[in-house]
Amino acid sequence: MVLPHFKLVSFALCPYVQRARIMLFEKNIPHDTEYIDLRSPPPWFLDVSPLEKVPVLLVDDKPLFESMPICEYLDEITPGSLHPTDPFKKAQNRAWIEYGNDILDLTYQFFNAKDETTFKRLIANLRDRFETLEEIVDTGPFFNGETFGIIDAVYAPIFRFHAAVRQYADFKFFDDTPKVTRWTEALLARPSAQQSVPESYETDLDTYLKKRNSLFGARIRGQAAV
Ligand SMILES: N[C@@H](CCC(=O)N[C@@H](CS)C(=O)NCC(=O)O)C(=O)O
């Protein structure tokens, strides 16, 4: 099988980039990765990214944007799909992927909340989201059971954020979610997930979180690095 040349345009902390990188590693697809600074992107970036976001996959220099189309494309051009074959299960997986996107939105809001009422609401919302996941996730090790899927590539970066949060303070997101906790452990131990972040990831995340002009930022400043 002759594959095109792939370059993933990335940002070190981006969970949407990580899901695409996990797919590249899971599918053994040779690729280059170029990290850019989103605060000061190179001029060519605007030409390949209509929404001015990463990830962008350059396929023989042709750009593909949005993480889920990228993940599904990588899955489809290589043998052995990581989506369930049953159409209903596949649609369900896609729906729970969207749920994961919502958890990411809430997590960013949680990092950036400036007032106590919003912060408390977000903590309650996130707890609720993980408790709902607990009811639907398989007994493991992965979302669908034995087989690692695209949905696992989506949730690994979400759980990576929350594993880091937990090292600063325990917001009790996972007190009543033993299945989600086992799922997290399986995902964070997965080689593709470990390879999906650069070596500087933990230091970069520590800097990013402590810089937040927010209640969370204030709470963790002065605490030990992740
Ligand atoms: N829906 C997009 C979301 C990607 C996204 O939000 N990327 C962030 C970084 S994690 C970004 O590029 N933001 C642009 C900016 O911060 O200027 C996807 O799934 O690819």
Is the pTM value of this prediction over 0.75? yes
Question: What is the atom index within ligand 1 of the atom nearest the CA of 66?
Answer: 20
The pLDDT of residue 94: 98
Q: How far is the CA of 151 from the centre of ligand 1 (A)?
A: 18
User: What's the residue count for the chain?
Assistant: 226
Sole residue written with tokens 């370059």: 7
Sole residue written with tokens 């996730």: 137
Q: Among 37, 53, 57, 196, which is best to mutate for testing ligand 1, by the most ligand atoms less than 8 A from CB?
A: 53
The pLDDT of residue 100: 98
Using CA atoms, how far residue 107 sits from 62, 70, 103, 119, 212, in Å, is: 32, 23, 6, 11, 13
Instruction: Give one DSSP letter per residue of 162-206, joined into a string.
Output: HHHHHHH----TTTT-HHHHHHHHHHHHSHHHHHTS-TTHHHHHH
> Tens digit of pLDDT for each residue in 189-226?
999 999 999 999 999 999 999 999 999 999 999 876 55
Q: What is the mean pLDDT of residues 163-170?
A: 94
Report residues whose beta carbon is within 6 angstroms of any ligand 1 atom.
Answer: 11, 14, 16, 38, 52-55, 66-68
Residues contacting 86, CB < 8 A, separation 6+ = none
The pLDDT of residue 223: 75
Beta partners for residue 6, in sequence order = 59
Catalogue all structural domains in the chain, each as residue range(s) with its CATH number. Answer: 6-76 (3.40.30.10), 87-220 (1.20.1050.10)
First to last CA, the chain: 42
